[in-house]
Structure 1
Amino acid sequence: MRQIPNIITLCNLFCGALAIICVLHAPEFRTEFNGTEYTIVTPEPIYWASALVVLAAIFDFFDGLAARLLRVQSPMGKELDSLADVVTFGVVPGMMLYRLLRSAYFQQPDVFDVSLFNLAPALLVPCFAAYRLAKFNIDTRQSENFIGVPTPAVGLLVASFPLIVLYNPYNLGHWFQNIWVLYVIIFLLSYLMVAEIPMISLKVKKKTLKDNWTRLLLVVLTLVSIPFLKFAAVPFVFICYVILSLLFPPMKAEKA
């Protein structure tokens, strides 16, 4: 029984590792430009990776729930959870953003002049995710609420981008094929993960409406927005989450 939460956590990690394989798996072709041959990796759709991140987020929710219900919470489980999260919600989003940046640069006239230096900013996301998770493990202020945006929220947000590009709800897809929009997203997400901003947690400690109305509002906004916005509901809810946290900071985090 003690290992059930850890097994669920490892399912999260398994999904993250499989998502990395999905992002990496892409056919190559050779082309010639100005007499020089180039090998190009086609920007393969990474929709399966997006689905795996969502599945991993479900496992991430249930491992903590199982540990609390079975009363088998442990320091090892906490560390294992962070190690899994840095892969699934740090490395995978970073690789997705790398591929999206690469795809965006493929639309530029000087595509063959693009270097790794242009694409490397995408790797800031896993770096800041790792920093945030390490800080979370030793920050006693975050027992009930968060300081900075949690990595699963960032992972789910970035996982929605390829699906928005594919289905293009409200013609939003082209924004995620713009290099400058992607750069702004990368730097903003990196900052939000480590910022000293009290953020709402979905953990319900008290059952009164007064203590949970922001959580309830987020749930309602999510359910209402999905039929209308489709996959664009994810960025919409993420923005609402940040705004609500800024306007109505959790009291515990605010006093800390």
Structure 2
Amino acid sequence: MKQIPNILTLSNLFCGALAIIFILHAPEYIAEFNNTEYTVTNPEPIYWASGLVVLAGIIDFFDGFVARLLKVSSPLGKELDSLADVVSFGVVPGMILFRLLRSAYLRTPDVFDVSYLNLAPALLVPCFAAYRLAVFNLDTRQSENFIGVPTPAVGFLVASFPLIMLNNPFNLAHWLENVWVLYGIIAALCYLMVSSHPMISLKFKNFSVKDNWPRFLLIALTLAGIPVLGFAVVPFIFIVYVGLSLLAPPKISVA
């Protein structure tokens, strides 16, 4: 019984590793037709990668829940959880951003002069995610709420980008094809992960409206926003989550 949460955590890691394979097998190239260049891509594998990040996030929630339910929480499980998270919510989002940057540069006139150094900033996301998870494991103040944005939130946000580009609600795909917008997103995510700002956790200790109104508001906005915004609800809720955490910061336990 004590290994069930660890098996779930390894399933999270399995999803992350499989997502990487899908991203690597999403070919992209430039084709010419009637003297006009077109970007040709097979985006389906990246959509599968996005789905796997979501599945990894669901598993990540339940492994801790099951460990507490079975009363088999352990230091090993905590370390294993962070190792899985750095892949599913660090490396995979970094690779998705790498592909998005590459696609954005394919639309620029100097596409053939672009080097991997232009795309390397995307790899800062897994680096900052690893740093954040290492700090989390050592910081005893984050038992109820977070300090800095948790990596699963970053994973969900970035995983929504390919799906937003597929459906293109409110012409958001145009912005995700802009190199400088992507650089700005990378910088913001890296900062938020390692910042000292208290962030709301979705863990409920009770169901009092007074104690949990930010959580209830996030859930209500998510449910209301899905039929209106589609996949764009993810960045919307991410912005609301950060905004609520900054305007009504949760209490952090004293170490």
| CA contact 2:94–2:122 (8 Å) conserved in 1 | yes
Could you say which residue in structure 2 is the equivalent of 1:71?
Answer: 71
Pairing 1:49-60 to 2, within 5 Å after superposition: 49-60=49-60
1:186 aligns with 2:194: no
Could you say which residue in structure 1 is the equivalent of 2:7?
Answer: 7
Whichever residue aligns with residue 82 of structure 1, its letter is: S
| CA contact 2:57–2:152 (8 Å) conserved in 1 | yes
User: By how many angstroms is 1:26 displaced?
Assistant: 3.0
User: By how many angstroms is 1:209 displaced?
Assistant: 1.5
Q: Measure the CA separation in 1 of the matches of 2:28 and 2:171.
A: 29
Could you say which residue in structure 2 is the equivalent of 1:221?
Answer: 221
**Structure 1 SS opposite 2:252:** helix
User: By how many angstroms is 1:11 displaced?
Assistant: 0.7
Deviations 1:144-173 (A, max 9, x none): 000000000000000000011110011111
User: By how many angstroms is 1:31 displaced?
Assistant: 7.7
| CA contact 1:6–1:63 (8 Å) conserved in 2 | yes
Deviations 1:102-161 (A, max 9, x none): 000000011000001100000000000000000000001101000000000000000000
**Structure 2 SS opposite 1:102:** helix
Whichever residue aligns with residue 202 of structure 1, its letter is: L
| CA contact 2:149–2:194 (8 Å) conserved in 1 | yes
Whichever residue aligns with residue 183 of structure 2, its letter is: Y
| CA contact 1:43–1:103 (8 Å) conserved in 2 | no
User: CA distance change for structure 1 residues 80 and 166 in 2, over 3 Å: closer, same or farther?
Assistant: same
Q: Measure the CA separation in 1 of the matches of 2:84 and 2:29.
A: 34
User: By how many angstroms is 1:23 displaced?
Assistant: 0.3
Q: Measure the CA separation in 2 of the matches of 1:30 and 1:165.
A: 19
| CA contact 1:43–1:99 (8 Å) conserved in 2 | no
Whichever residue aligns with residue 63 of structure 1, its letter is: D
Q: Measure the CA separation in 2 of the matches of 1:122 and 1:48.
A: 20
Moved segments of 4+, more than 4 Å: 28-32
| CA contact 2:28–2:42 (8 Å) conserved in 1 | no
Whichever residue aligns with residue 201 of structure 2, its letter is: S
**When the two structures are superposed, what TM-score results if normalisation uses the length of structure 2?**
0.93
Whichever residue aligns with residue 65 of structure 1, its letter is: F
User: CA distance change for structure 1 residues 201 and 28 in 2, over 3 Å: closer, same or farther?
Assistant: closer
| CA contact 1:169–1:232 (8 Å) conserved in 2 | yes
How big is the alpha-carbon RMSD for the aligned residues of Structure 1 and Structure 2?
1.6
User: By how many angstroms is 1:210 displaced?
Assistant: 1.1
Identity of aligned residues (%): 73
Structure 2 runs not aligned, ≥5 long: 33-38
Deviations 1:44-71 (A, max 9, x none): 4110000000000000000000001000
Deviates more, 1:82-91 or 1:166-175: 166-175
User: By how many angstroms is 1:205 displaced?
Assistant: 1.5
Q: Measure the CA separation in 2 of the matches of 1:28 and 1:135.
A: 37
User: By how many angstroms is 1:206 displaced?
Assistant: 2.8
| CA contact 2:148–2:199 (8 Å) conserved in 1 | yes
Whichever residue aligns with residue 128 of structure 1, its letter is: F
User: CA distance change for structure 1 residues 73 and 119 in 2, over 3 Å: closer, same or farther?
Assistant: same
| CA contact 2:149–2:192 (8 Å) conserved in 1 | yes
User: By how many angstroms is 1:207 displaced?
Assistant: 2.9
Could you say which residue in structure 1 is the equivalent of 2:131?
Answer: 131
Whichever residue aligns with residue 56 of structure 1, its letter is: A
User: CA distance change for structure 1 residues 3 and 109 in 2, over 3 Å: closer, same or farther?
Assistant: same
Structure 1 runs not aligned, ≥5 long: 33-40
Whichever residue aligns with residue 111 of structure 2, its letter is: V
Q: Measure the CA separation in 2 of the matches of 1:193 and 1:44.
A: 31
Could you say which residue in structure 2 is the equivalent of 1:37?
Answer: none
Count of matched residue positions in the alignment of Structure 1 and Structure 2: 247
1:88 aligns with 2:88: yes
User: By how many angstroms is 1:78 displaced?
Assistant: 0.3
